[in-house]
Amino acid sequence: MPALPFSLPEIDADAAYRAWQTHDARFDGRLFAGVTSTGVYCRPVCRVRLPRRANLRFFRSAASAQQHGFRPCLRCRPELAPGLSLVDSSQVLAQHAARMLDHAARSGAALRLPDIAARLGVTDRHLRRIFALAHGVTPIDYWTTQRLLLAKQLLTDTRLPVTEVALQCGFASVRRFNAAFAQHCRLSPTRLRRAGGTTLVPRRATVTPLLRLPGTLACDALKLRLAYRPPCDTEALMHFFAQRAVKGIEAVEQQTLRRTLRLVQGGREHIGWLALRSLPDIDELEVMIAAELVPALGRVIEAVRQAFDLDADPARIDPVMALLSAAPRPGLRLAGSFDGFETAVRVILGQQVTVKGARTLIQRLVGRFGTPLATPFADLSHLFPNAARLAAVDPADIGTLGIVRQRVGAIQALARGVAAEQIELHRGAPIEATLAALRALPGVGEWTAQVIAMRALAWPDAWPAGDIGLANALGSREPKRLTELAEAWRPWRAYAVMRLWHLMETGT
């Protein structure tokens, strides 16, 4: 391998080895080790026999390990490791680009680096330089690794044909897919599938009662697990979703969440349901996914990871949150978004009303314009209306639901922008450009834009200074004063919002 034209921060190999000795989950997704005696690379949580210290080479990313000739471990499965939140790196620009590449890999979208650079407001040459300094690999190498890790998960956890896996991961042909897989993983896709097994729940099979499914399923479903860095305050997350649950599209029971979901991948719409629960003993989230959503599994995984903020790093966030006067809750997470457009509409309907009032309006909107959907659950019966549907309806029809004219205009302006693909609402969207587009919409002010950024764009430093809940919690009605108080919580102000909201709703 040629020498890199820059130097990377040195990894303390002794400290890294101690993380491997103790299987420290705090380093999961932040550190990988290549084993020279086997040629594989692993996560710190891997439970195989500890390799000799002399046989380990440490890397900051899976892409860097693969670039150095190591293939992913079939036991600990590096594709399941938590990712990185946006402010993990001092090179925020590089992290923006990484999130865009993650989204492109999981959605199967074509990649043009000049387009990503242009959206970030830099040249592609500058982006390549900054990206390599932050991640140790080129953007193309990073993107290739993310696609192959998604392919590995699809081959291991589903029965999708190899051709479908290749297309879903953005490969133009099976031949190119097989060649890339053989080069980086040192085995063929079919051989990996035979070695990895599957976790599909067969038709009519009994499933775990903790997911609150019926005794049997009348359809195929996929069960998989997604890792997170401990601790994770799932109790606060579930409380947030339960308070805002809309009958027909979502339901929360203790530590279990179920909902319907609509995703578009490769120009095709996929609709179905999912159910998930936390497994705190092993620091993972268990997810059951309807077979109809499996062809868009990359997008489903992205949505779940964002909704439950699985890529957060409590070791960085918790010390800052300890500065709040409220009693700290270790493992605080941002309650994110399964569907960016749905979340944005719900934020607009939440302007200047209580949580209960907003939920009533959303319930009416779903009842009138939502799409009926058959599911195994009595409490899941509809899909949230998509952007094209809400953009096309008569404004007067929305007004009959008790939604004031200004908010009707805001919802339809947003719907037109999303339907025309002029506004993107996911964690890979460029923050500043998207905020500017949102602020330009009629009826969308700074509070609305910031809350959408916090939840739909997963922006960890979003700060809706005009929020009444924050005003009550912090004892001031002056947005400028609230912003001054929040300076101590940068770059995690959105987490402070979540903590203060929870405090005001529960008193704890």
The residues, ordered by sequence, that sit 6+ positions from 473 with a Cβ below 8 Å of its Cβ are 326, 500, 501, 503, 504
List phi, psi (to 5°) of 258: -125, 145
Residue 497 structure tokens: 């919002």
Any idea which residue has 């947030």 for tokens?
240
Residue 153 structure tokens: 């998960």
Give me the catalytic one of 28, 88, 157, 467. 467
Residue 208 Ramachandran class (φ > 0 left, ψ -120 to 50 alpha, else beta): beta
CB–CB of 423/440 below 8 Å?
A: no
CB–CB of 300/293 below 8 Å?
A: yes
Closest C-alpha to 415, from 350, 360, 349: 349
For β-strands 382-383 and 371-372, DSSP reports them as: antiparallel
Give me the catalytic one of 28, 42, 311, 461. 42
Please, which residues bridge with residue 278 across strands? 285
One-letter amino acid of 207: V
CB–CB of 408/365 below 8 Å?
A: no
Is 467 marked active-site? yes
Is 76 marked active-site? no
- Distance of alpha carbon 463 from alpha carbon 219, whole angstroms: 43
Residue 309 Ramachandran class (φ > 0 left, ψ -120 to 50 alpha, else beta): left
- Distance of alpha carbon 10 from alpha carbon 60, whole angstroms: 10
Please, which residues bridge with residue 32 across strands? 59
Residues labelled as active-site residues: 42, 467
